[in-house]
């Protein structure tokens, strides 16, 4: 039976025809996404769902989507998709991250021109029959300093266009390497320096807990007086109330906003203020961009439904259909190994070395590498996925080394992950047994056999009596049930480790009590995605 796709938002007829030409049944119902109840009633009939921004794919919708295998978002933003719920259901979420990059970057540049020369107000005044030539005194962009917060795909294009305007470009991006910055022709700076130096500031970062209100009241106070701010990225990156106050006080000379904390934005403290340029989230609104992302999502979804090939997935690596059946447990293992070392590493990573031994060495190592790297980076950036993680690692200047070797020990196959920092190396190895469950088999060179659970506790200590009793007694005292308890040691009286698989996360008081005993060198709670 041919796979069936529902298109619940507006896509071009050319994109819809791609599904048909590839042998996929498609129902084009472009207004269905606005009716939650109707969508809920029919979603169970489809293998794929193609959307833009109007359709909200909630946990409730996913619960009713009994056949759904893939969601394709024609565009980059997936705020309207519950990705954790989709992952739990086994539904792949794809986007089209590059189809509207140029369009969004161009809109940011256009907004910068508009706020520099007060174009909307001057146009409205002239339309009203006035000739207020002396009222609208603008500033040049030439030789001004542009501060770009977020120098990724879209931000990088903005940098390139601004350099063409002969602006001085400085960029703040934690993932931007010195080499990449030099190649782009921009100066890499820390955020405080950018705030102090920039004449114009433009935002091109995703909306996360770390970036929420990145331009806070305190940040705005650090800016050069008379700065102009452009945001075509996501609402919520700027404290809008603080921005209104800064405009009124003259600290900020102008603002251009395409996005707002609440959308649709029918009211805002910024509306009606002089030299505030507003557009209704038009960053990706060009005919070229809309067509590009529509064609891309149709091709990607068709490829997955017909062949199992995955492109631009946000919640799984790119793998072929043949590889998927075999690699599933190993992808989970690679992610768990990464998550372990990522949570244990507090300093910048210089290199990641991954050893594949035995049968796993013949698998798709690019996907396994991506899973491991994503696992490491999620410890500090939960929005990193298997698609973006290798790119971010390269931009950070992290060296990735992969080694294959034939079966060399007791296991038919295993993966060993080593992270190198300025001061140390940390390694962990794991395998998958016949039951498909990933296991840790070596940490710090000490052999173990530990099943991976959602909530775990890792400790290191000298091999002395009383460790088991202290761990067990403390867990019992606080009502924490131990699902599994694994011990290992280098030698009698030497370095030893313990891994506890727990039924619930540990409270800080439990960690503090264990640390207070003086028996442990490390007491580290760990979390793993095991669904």
pLDDT tens digits for the chain (531 residues)?
A: 899 999 999 998 999 999 999 999 999 999 998 899 999 999 999 999 999 889 999 999 999 999 999 999 998 778 899 988 887 777 889 998 777 789 999 999 999 999 999 999 999 999 999 999 889 899 999 999 999 999 988 999 999 999 999 999 999 998 888 999 999 999 999 999 999 999 999 999 988 888 999 999 999 999 999 999 999 999 999 999 999 999 999 999 999 999 999 888 998 989 999 999 999 998 888 888 888 889 999 999 998 898 877 888 887 776 665 676 678 889 899 999 999 999 999 888 999 999 999 999 998 888 899 889 989 988 877 767 665 677 678 778 899 999 999 988 889 999 999 999 999 999 999 999 877 889 999 998 999 999 999 999 999 999 999 999 999 999 999 999 999 999 999 999 999 999 999 999 999 999 999 999 999 999 999 999 886
Q: Are residues 250 and 335 in the same domain?
A: no
| Residue listed under structure tokens 């992952």 | 87
What 3-state DSSP class applies to 439?
strand
Instruction: Judge whether 521 and 460 are in contact, CB under 8 Å.
Output: yes
Q: At what angle do helices 365-377 and 321-344 cross, to 10 degrees?
A: 30
Q: Is residue 384 part of a domain?
A: yes
pTM: 0.57
- Give tens-digit pLDDT for 307-322: 877 888 887 776 665 6
CATH number of the domain that residue 265 is part of: 3.40.50.720
Q: Are residues 30 and 144 in the same domain?
A: no
Query: How far, CA to CA in Å, does 384 sit from each of 32, 206, 387?
Result: 31, 11, 8
Question: Residue 400, class by beta-carbon neighbours within 10 Å (0-12 exposed, 13-18 middle, 19+ buried)?
Answer: middle
Query: How far, CA to CA in Å, does 177 sit from each of 12, 152, 310, 382, 393?
Result: 39, 11, 29, 20, 9
- Domain extent, residue 364, equals 317-443
- Helical (H) or strand (E) element with 448: strand 446-451
For residue 449 the two structure tokens come to 């056999």
Give the model's pLDDT for residue 346: 85
* Dihedral-angle region of residue 338 (phi above 0 means left; psi in -120 to 50 means alpha; beta otherwise): alpha
Q: Are residues 399 and 497 in the same domain?
A: no
Catalytic, 234? Answer yes
Catalytic, 204? Answer no
CA–CA dist 461, 455 (Å, integer): 20
What 3-state DSSP class applies to 232?
coil
Q: Are residues 465 and 490 in the same domain?
A: yes
The active-site residue out of 107, 161, 234, 336 is 234
CA–CA dist 43, 405 (Å, integer): 46
Instruction: Judge whether 338 and 317 are in contact, CB under 8 Å.
Output: no
The domain tally of the chain equals 4
The active-site residue out of 59, 179, 218, 263 is 263
Alpha-helical (H) ranges within 407-466 are none
Q: Are residues 302 and 322 in the same domain?
A: no
Beta bridge partners of 413: 358
The active-site residue out of 73, 117, 161, 281 is 281
Q: Which residues contact 285 (CB under 8 A, 6 or more apart)?
A: 103
Q: Are residues 379 and 241 in the same domain?
A: no
Give the model's pLDDT for residue 77: 79
Catalytic, 263? Answer yes
Q: Are residues 107 and 59 in the same domain?
A: no
What 3-state DSSP class applies to 277?
strand
- Helical (H) or strand (E) element with 335: helix 321-344
Q: Is residue 448 part of a domain?
A: no
């Amino acid at each position: 039976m041919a796979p069936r796709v529902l298109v619940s938002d507006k896509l071009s007829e050319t994109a819809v025809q791609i599904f048909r030409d590839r042998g996929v049944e498609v129902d084009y119902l472009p207004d269905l996404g606005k009716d939650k109840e109707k969508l809920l009633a029919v979603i169970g009939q489809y293998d794929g769902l193609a959307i833009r921004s109007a359709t909200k794919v909630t946990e409730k919708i996913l619960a009713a989507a009994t056949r759904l295998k893939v969601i394709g978002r024609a565009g980059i933003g997936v705020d309207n998709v519950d990705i954790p719920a989709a992952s739990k259901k086994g539904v792949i979420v794809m986007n089209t991250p590059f189809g509207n990059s140029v369009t969004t970057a161009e809109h940011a540049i256009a907004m910068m021109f508009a706020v520099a020369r007060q174009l909307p107000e001057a146009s409205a005044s002239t339309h009203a029959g006035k000739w207020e030539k002396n009222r609208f005194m603008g500033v040049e962009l030439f030789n001004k300093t542009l501060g770009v917060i977020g120098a990724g795909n879209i931000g990088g294009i903005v940098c390139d266009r601004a350099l063409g305007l002969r602006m001085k470009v400085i960029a703040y991006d934690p993932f931007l390497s010195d080499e990449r910055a030099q190649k782009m022709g921009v100066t890499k700076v820390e955020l405080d320096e950018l705030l102090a130096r920039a004449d114009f500031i433009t935002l091109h970062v995703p909306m996360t807990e770390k970036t929420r209100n990145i331009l806070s009241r305190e940040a705005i106070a650090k800016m050069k007086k008379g700065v102009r701010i452009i945001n075509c990225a996501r609402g919520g990156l700027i404290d809008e109330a603080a921005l209104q106050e800064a405009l009124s006080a003259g600290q900020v000379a102008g603002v251009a906003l395409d996005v707002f904390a609440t959308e649709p934005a029918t009211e805002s403290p910024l509306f009606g203020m002089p030299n505030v340029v507003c557009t209704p989230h038009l960053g990706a609104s060009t005919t070229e961009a809309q067509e590009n992302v529509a064609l891309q999502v149709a091709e990607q979804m068709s490829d997955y439904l017909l062949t199992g090939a995955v492109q631009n997935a946000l919640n799984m690596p790119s793998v072929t259909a043949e590889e998927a059946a075999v690699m599933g447990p190993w992808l989970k293992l690679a992610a768990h190994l990464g998550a372990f070392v990522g949570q244990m590493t507090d300093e910048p990573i210089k290199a990641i070395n991954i050893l594949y031994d035995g049968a796993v060495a013949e698998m798709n190592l690019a996907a396994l590498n991506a899973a491991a790297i994503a696992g490491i980076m999620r410890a500090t950036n939960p929005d990193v996925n298997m698609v973006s993680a290798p790119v971010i690692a390269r931009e950070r200047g992290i060296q990735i080394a992969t080694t294959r070797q034939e079966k060399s020990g007791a296991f038919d196959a295993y993966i060993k992950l080593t992270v190198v920092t300025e001061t140390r190396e940390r390694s962990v190895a794991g395998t998958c047994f016949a039951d498909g469950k990933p296991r840790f088999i070596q940490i710090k060179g000490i052999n173990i056999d530990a099943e991976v659970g959602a909530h775990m506790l890792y400790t290191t200590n000298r091999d002395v009596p009383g460790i088991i009793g202290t761990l067990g007694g403390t867990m019992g005292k606080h009502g924490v049930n131990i699902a599994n308890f694994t011990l290992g040691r280098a030698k009698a009286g030497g370095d030893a480790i313990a891994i506890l698989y727990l039924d619930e996360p540990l409270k800080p008081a439990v960690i503090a009590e264990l640390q207070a005993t003086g028996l442990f060198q490390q007491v580290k709670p760990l979390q793993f995605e095991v669904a």
